Amino acid sequence: TAELLLKSEKLSVVGQLAAGVAHEIRNPLTSLRGFVQLYRTKIDQAYYQIMLSELDRINDIVSEFLVIAKPQAVVFEMNDIRKMMDDVISLLETEAALRDVQIHAELAPDMPLLYCQQNQLKQVFINVLKNAIEAMADGGEIVIQMEASEQRVVIRIKDNGCGIAEDRLPTVGEPFYTTKEKGTGLGLMICNQIMDAHEGSLRIESRVGIGTTVELILPLHNHAAA
Ligand code: ADP
Ligand code: MG
């Protein structure tokens, strides 16, 4: 596991660097966007829209990088993950409804509290659920299941969207790998990093044209608690 350790150390240095750069980019970007808006009536509308959407794209990428910097600042606490999932579902309900996607949560009533970083783990739920919504261009259904044993909690997020080709599965989660026109390809990388910090894991099972299941596995007595 020496190599594994080295890899995660490297990631955190790169992560800190990225977050620093991201922060520095955001401020001038905001001012640039403001000035572009001043030219709204003076330039070709098509060009104007392209400029704005390209600026927004930079902002999206930079914002996702900033998430990487946060883990050091937040603390582990005992949290109700059913409640956390409920919060996230309410947050995404409008977006889901707009895309004709139904979210069904089958949450076990007797879930134990989990020692975790609430906002970070919510970020994982958000990223995974967003991917599920985005995978169903013509609408569909997301089923969320949660179960606990003595050792661990398993959260399953299942969609019946486009799926991921088998030979693409290893690539998914690599920085900047995206198949979406407006994707950043950073969502799953961030999820993996957060799951690592919880000594948990994220597994993806998928079949093209059938759908995708993302499984989040979290230990109940993790070393991160110490
Ligand atoms: P982004 O969503 O910005 O593309 P992610 O890291 O969240 O970046 O996802 C990377 C890629 O993995 C996506 O572009 C998509 O091709 C694939 N993917 C992730 N989740 C799903 C899913 N539920 N169904 C189909 N493809 C998915
Ligand atoms: Mg995503």
Tens of pLDDT, residue by residue over 35-52, are: 999 999 999 999 999 999
What is the 187 CA–ligand 2 centroid distance (Å)?
Answer: 4
Ligand 1 binding pocket includes 183 (Cβ within 6 Å): yes
Angle value at C-alpha 40, between 34 and 46, nearest 5 degrees: 115
Greater confidence (20 vs 11) lies with 20
Q: How confident is the model over 147-203, as pLDDT tens digits?
A: 999 899 999 999 999 999 999 999 999 988 999 988 889 899 989 989 998 999 999
What is the 194 CA–ligand 1 centroid distance (Å)?
Answer: 17
Start-end of H helices in the chain: 2-38, 45-69, 81-98, 118-134, 187-197
Q: Return the minimum-mean-pLDDT range out of 4-8, 43-47, 53-57.
A: 4-8
Residue nearest to atom 16 of ligand 1 (CA): 179
Task: Identify the band that residue 145 occupies on the pLDDT scale cut at 50, 70 and 90.
Answer: very high
Ligand 1 binding pocket includes 127 (Cβ within 6 Å): yes
| CB contact set of 162 (below 8 Å; sequence gap of 6+) | 135, 136, 137, 208, 209
Region of residue 64 (left: phi > 0; alpha: psi -120 to 50; beta: else): alpha
Task: Identify the band that residue 7 occupies on the pLDDT scale cut at 50, 70 and 90.
Answer: very low
Task: Identify the band that residue 60 occupies on the pLDDT scale cut at 50, 70 and 90.
Answer: confident
End-to-end CA distance of the chain: 20
Question: Which ligand minimizes its atom distance to the CA of 184?
Answer: 1
pLDDT number for residue 5: 45
Q: Which of 108, 103, 75, 107 is nearest to 90 (CA)?
A: 103
With H, G, I as helix, E, B as strand and everything else as coil, classify residue 133.
Answer: helix
Q: How confident is the model over 84-107, as pLDDT tens digits?
A: 999 999 989 988 999 999 999 998
Task: Retrieve residue 12's tokens.
Answer: 């955190």
Q: Which of 16-30, 51-65, 114-128 shows the highest mean pLDDT?
A: 114-128
pLDDT number for residue 226: 45
Residue 131 φ/ψ, nearest 5 degrees: -60, -40
pLDDT at 122 over 60: yes
Please report, rounded to a whole number, the percentage of residues in the chain having pLDDT higher than 90: 62
Whole-number Å distance between alpha carbons of 71 and 85? 19
What is the 25 CA–ligand 2 centroid distance (Å)?
Answer: 22
Question: Which ligand minimizes its atom distance to the CA of 61?
Answer: 1
| CB contact set of 188 (below 8 Å; sequence gap of 6+) | 127, 131, 172, 173, 202
Task: Identify the band that residue 225 occupies on the pLDDT scale cut at 50, 70 and 90.
Answer: very low
Whole-number Å distance between alpha carbons of 130 and 161? 12
Find the mean pLDDT for residues 112-120. Answer: 91
Question: Closest ligand 1 atom, CA of 182?
Answer: 3
Counted residue by residue, the chain has a size of 226
pLDDT number for residue 69: 57
pLDDT number for residue 74: 63
